[in-house]
Amino acid sequence: MTKVKTGIGRRSFIKSVSIAGGGLIIGFNWMACKKATEEGGKEMAMQMPDEWFELNGYLKIGDNGVVTIYSPNPEIGQNVKTSMPMIVAEELDVDWNNVIVEQAPLNTDIFTRQLAGGSQSIRQGWESLRTAGATARQMLLTAAANQWEVPVSELSVENGIIKHANSENSMGYGEIAKAAAQVEVPEEVELKDNDSFKIIGTSRKNVDAKKIVTGQPLYGIDVDKEGMLIAMMVQPPAFGMQLKTMNAEKIKEMPGIVDVFTIDTYPEDMEKEWSDVTAFSKLAVIVGESTWQVMKAKKALEIEWELKPDLVEQIQILEKSAAMEDTSGLESSKLHASLMAEIGSKKAEVVRKDGDPEKAFKNAARVIERSYTCPFLAHNCMEPMNFYANVSGGKAELLGPIQTPEYAEKSVNKRLGLALEDIDVQMTRMGGGFGRRLYGNFLVEAAVISDKLGKPVKLIYTREDDMSNGVYRPAYHVAYRAALDGNNKLTALHVNAGGIPESPLFANRFPAGAIDNYLAESWTLESNISVGAFRAPRSNFIAGAEQSFLDELAEEMGQDPIQFRLDMLKRAETDPVGENNDYDAARYAGVLELVRDKSGWSNGSSSLSRGVSAYYCHNSYVAQILDMSVKNNQPLIDKVTCAVDCGIVVNPDAAKNMVEGGTIDGIGHALYSEITFEDGVPQQHNFDTYRLIRHSEAPKKIDVHFVENGIDPTGLGEPPFPPIMGALANALYKATGQRFYDQPYINQLNGKQTELKT
């Protein structure tokens, strides 16, 4: 067993530890015993504030022995509502069948910085969740020992039943919970050895599964409260425009319409949170009695738009281009493509340099150069943005799907001037997040609308609102160069990466550290199109590009693509270049070796076209091999073999589901999805023009294999997503004889010219 500090006495526990109805309620700050240093923390710090990593929770034991464990983190389909309580229950040593799991509300006194994102929930909560359960177990044992007047060392517990071997006394947790509430919190507790786990590492059904399949109300879109009105907003049709005038008199007379007005969600003098991202602050709002009535009124609203006053200044950052003038100062995908193709050589910043890459390229026998692009992407959660708000009497009740409840609460505090203690944020289950619900503008909009009306409302985005509202995955461009000497040996690598409006570059990831001469450069272009985190931010593009280039490079060098990567990783493990390499080369190589073995790569058993890819992100390692064919220009994916090193797997079935989902999601986006612009107007507004993968296009089979190494858990929601794009591109090459450089790949398969083709 491992001993861990619980913190300084009761300082680690919430002061509200109390007796309630004969039960024991324990509020525990899970971060009090959090490790001071976190491997891989640099990546998360670039994407999110430090507060990202803090978690907390509490459990309640009834006098009948039933245990309620509250899950503090938002549930977006990653199954933390099941997995996090499993960790607590393991150390508490309670029968999982006697556990009730409930979604905790936002409570900054008990739960610190509740957030869903970055694949960090299990990783960051691992030791603290275990400590919470172990501490409660120790308090229960101490109370039982006091009652029986025996040493705690003579007691044992299993499935919530405490036993004293010498006297054969036994009692359930419920019988001693009241007394345990009076026990001092121990300064340290023992955690179980991994081989003692009974719940962790076993598959447990999703605690909401029955409610989901029977259609019970779980999601924000299901909220229906007495007196609630429906609100919808009308936003500008183009990025760079704003509301000028509207004539609402006609629609105010329409059946069921209660009011029509304008709001400014984020006034210029408001201090924003990092999560307050929106391109459209000034909106027209229609409020009515039913969704259908409001949707009809939206279509009939007479409204006029104008260019934002500061548009010209913003656009000048995008280079003074004649093309920009041709589009009346509004951005287009064709302009984006032309700018990204040329800007890297003009304004790139050197982020990392090892050796003397300039000399290596100058002396190279051959130089291989390739460029890769991807378009903007919409998150397209199946449940559109929505939120319920009831602001009245100086208080705000907020209920809906949000990944960042605490930051949204702060935004409402700043926007409406309400005290934090008068703002109640309750979280529903989410019909998808993928990063979109990190940005809570829709919650703030609902609060502002309710405050203006003085009545409860549910704000609902239509699919068209959702798809054209922004907070997209950025558009990216990366150029690779490789230098080969006369012996066909790789001597230098140069990566130049950028995007609108951020760069996808991770300068210290593989293959950095494996090449003597290495140069990484980064650049960005500003835009008035709003962007934000998208599942596996930045990795979701750069992984596929990098792995496609490495495959092409291996072919040029006459090497097996897996062995080529393994040889480079061996160098990075035994004789690394540089000191800032942020990956474990041995673990990286481990997933490649595992996927090679499980797929039968070496024996050439597959008659299909095969592509391989591997990547490290969010502290985990994933390698994938995709088997496919192409018929009538349509990809037919037979099988994907996945090897995953994410440390200890808490809930195997749920973990497998996440890998399968991420794999399918990555294939779909790389093949089909894109948002393009003309004169600032998104050209895709619904699923008739925005392609997502369909059931018949998903792989027929996905084999998932986890590395069993006993390492504490790392990320899993995002790591399977980026590498599959490279495996797909490499398999497409084998199937068609053509290399694929520009997403979505279906454009090339169908002979269409992509908007971002360089």
Q: What is the pLDDT of residues 403-425, one digit of tens each?
A: 999 999 999 999 999 999 999 99
Exposure letters 568-596 (e unless 16+ CB within 10 A, then b)? bbebbbeeebbeebbbbbebbbbbbebbb
pLDDT in tens, 633-681: 999 999 999 999 999 999 999 999 999 999 999 999 999 999 999 999 9
Same domain, 114 and 156: yes
Residue 566 has pLDDT above 70, yes or no: yes
Q: Give the pLDDT mean for 170-178.
A: 90
pLDDT score of 124: 82
Return the percentage of the chain with pLDDT > 90, whole number. 77
pLDDT, tens only, 49-66: 232 112 224 688 888 888
Q: b or e along 231-255 (b: 16 or more beta carbons within 10 Å of the residue's beta carbon)? A: bbbbbbebbbbbbeebebeebeebe
The predicted pLDDT at position 221 comes to 97
Same-domain status, 442 and 503: no
Q: What residue has token string 């091999």?
A: 625
- Give the DSSP letter of residue 675: B
Q: Does residue 583 sit in the same domain as residue 647?
A: yes
Give the type of residue at 306: E
Q: Rounded to whole angstroms, how far apart are CA atoms 129 and 116?
A: 16
Site of tokens 């069921």: 256
Helix (H) or strand (E) holding 542: helix 539-556
Domain identity same for 493 and 430 = no
Q: To the nearest whole number, what is the mean pLDDT of the chain?
A: 89
Helix axes 173-180, 121-148, angle to 10 degrees: 90
DSSP state of 186: P
Does 465 map to a domain? no
Q: What is the pLDDT of residues 432-459, one digit of tens each?
A: 999 999 999 999 999 999 999 999 999 9
Read off φ and ψ for residue 24, nearest 5 degrees: -105, 120
Calculate mean pLDDT across residues 148-152: 96
Per residue in 636-645, pLDDT (tens digit) is 999 999 999 9
Alpha-helical segments (H) within 673-744: 723-736
Look at residues 628, 566, 613, 593 and name the one whose alpha carbon lies nearest to residue 705. 593
- Here the tokens at position 676 are 């393009």
330 is a domain residue: no
List C-alpha distances in Å: 372 to 201, 500, 504, 670.
40, 14, 12, 12
Question: 437, 460, 483 — which closes off a domain?
Answer: 460
Which residues fall within 8 angstroms of residue 253, CB to CB, at 6 or more apart? none
Band (271; pLDDT cuts 50, 70, 90): very high
pLDDT in tens, 102-142: 898 888 777 666 889 989 888 888 888 898 899 889 999 99
Question: Per-residue confidence at 145, pLDDT binned at 50, 70, 90?
Answer: very high
Closest CA to 47 of 503, 704, 447, 381: 503
Q: What is the CATH number of the domain that holds 231?
A: 3.30.365.10
Q: How many CB atoms lie within 10 A of CB 632?
A: 6
pLDDT at residue 387 above 60? yes
Can you say whether the dihedral through the CA atoms of 173, 179, 180, 181 is positive or negative? positive
Split at pLDDT 50, 70, 90, the class of 27 is low
Q: Which of 737, 743, 696, 709 is nearest to 724 (CA)?
A: 743
Per DSSP, what are the bridge partners of residue 234?
284
Domain presence at residue 370: no
Sheet containing 23-28: give its strands across. 18-20, 23-28, 57-61, 67-71, 99-103
Instruction: Return the pLDDT at 320.
Output: 43
According to the per-residue pLDDT averaged within each range, which of 56-60, 319-323, 329-333, 719-723 is highest?
Answer: 719-723
pLDDT-derived band at 72, boundaries 50, 70, 90 = confident
What are 480's strand-pairing partners? 370, 495
What is the pLDDT averaged over residues 715-726? 97
The mean pLDDT value for 338-366 works out to 92
Residues 519 and 648 both lie in one domain: yes
Q: Quick one: 606 and 586 in the same domain?
A: yes
- Proportion of the chain above pLDDT 70, given as a percent: 89
The CA-CA-CA angle for residues 127, 129, 132, to 5°, reads 105
Which pLDDT tens digit goes with each residue over 598-636? 999 988 767 899 999 999 999 999 999 999 999 999 999
Provide the number of structural domains found in the chain.
3
Task: Please name the amino acid found at residue 541.
Answer: F
Q: Are strands 99-103 and 155-158 parallel, antiparallel or unpaired?
A: unpaired
| 183 & 253 share domain | no
Same domain, 545 and 664: yes
Residue 25's pLDDT band, with cuts at 50, 70 and 90, is low
pLDDT at 311 over 70: no
What are 586-596's pLDDT values in tens digits? 999 999 999 99
CA atoms within 13 A on the CB side of 310: 4
Are 616 and 700 in the same domain?
Answer: yes
Query: Residue 665: which domain range?
Result: 475-749
Both 76 and 151 in one domain: the answer is yes
Cβ atoms of residues 515 and 495 within 8 Å: no
Q: Which of 192, 213, 234 represents a domain boundary (last residue)?
A: 213
Between 108-117, 202-211, 224-233, 542-551, the lowest mean confidence (pLDDT) is in 108-117
Query: Is there a domain that residue 522 lies in?
Result: yes
Q: What are phi and psi of 197, to 5 degrees?
A: -65, 135
Which pLDDT band, with edges at 50, 70 and 90, does 155 fall under?
A: very high
Amino acid at 1: M
**Rounded mean pLDDT, 305-314:** 71
Residue where one domain finishes, among candidates 185, 213, 241: 213
Indicate whether 585 pLDDT > 90: yes
pLDDT at 317 over 60: no
CA 395, distance to chain mean position in Å, is 31
- Residue 181: which pLDDT band, with cuts at 50, 70 and 90? confident
Closest CA to 220 of 102, 380, 383, 397: 383
Report angle CA 592, 597, 599 to the nearest 5 degrees: 95
Count the neighbouring beta carbons within 10 Å of the beta carbon of residue 124: 26
Closest CA to 127 of 32, 195, 40, 202: 32
> How high is the pLDDT of residue 604?
76
Using alpha carbons, list the distances in angstroms from residue 270 to 179, 266, 413, 440: 50, 6, 11, 15
- Using the predicted structure, report yes or no on whether residue 321 has a pLDDT greater than 50: no
Contact between residue 749 and residue 379 where contact means Cβ atoms under 8 Å apart: no
Tell me if residue 439 falls in helix, strand or coil: coil
Asked if pLDDT for residue 28 goes beyond 90, the answer is no
Residues 6+ apart with CB under 8 A from 107: none
Q: Is the pLDDT of residue 240 over 60?
A: yes
Residue 467, CA atoms < 13 Å, CB-side half-sphere: 22
Q: Residue 315: pLDDT above 60?
A: no
Please list the helix, strand and coil fractions of the chain in percent, rounded to the nearest 5, in that order. 35, 25, 40
Residue 326 lies in a domain: no
CB-based contacts of 353, cutoff 8 Å, min separation 6: 518, 519, 520
Query: Is 363 within a domain?
Result: no
Structure tokens at 71: 């899950």
Per-residue pLDDT band for 556 (boundaries 50, 70, 90) equals: very high
The DSSP-derived string for 290-336 is SHHHHHHHHHH-EEEEEE-TTHHHHHHHT---HHHHHTTT---HHHH
pLDDT category at 7 given cuts 50, 70, 90 is low
Confidence at residue 111, expressed as pLDDT on a 0 to 100 scale: 67
Looking at the fold, whether 180 and 230 belong to one and the same domain comes out as: no
Q: Is the pLDDT of residue 15 over 90?
A: no
- Helix (H/G/I), strand (E/B), else coil: 541: helix
Does 566 share its domain with 443? no
Tens of pLDDT, residue by residue over 490-548, are: 999 999 999 999 999 999 999 999 999 999 999 999 899 999 999 999 999 999 999 99
Looking only at the bridges linking them, the beta strands covering 99-103 and 67-71 are parallel
- Please tell me the pTM assigned to this model: 0.91
The whole-number average pLDDT for the span 274-286 is: 96
CA 158 to chain centre: 36
Is 315 within a domain? no
Q: β-strands 634-645, 701-706: how paired?
A: parallel
Q: Is 438 helix (H, G, I), strand (E, B) or coil?
A: helix
Whether 110 is covered by a domain: the verdict is yes
3-state SS, residue 756: coil
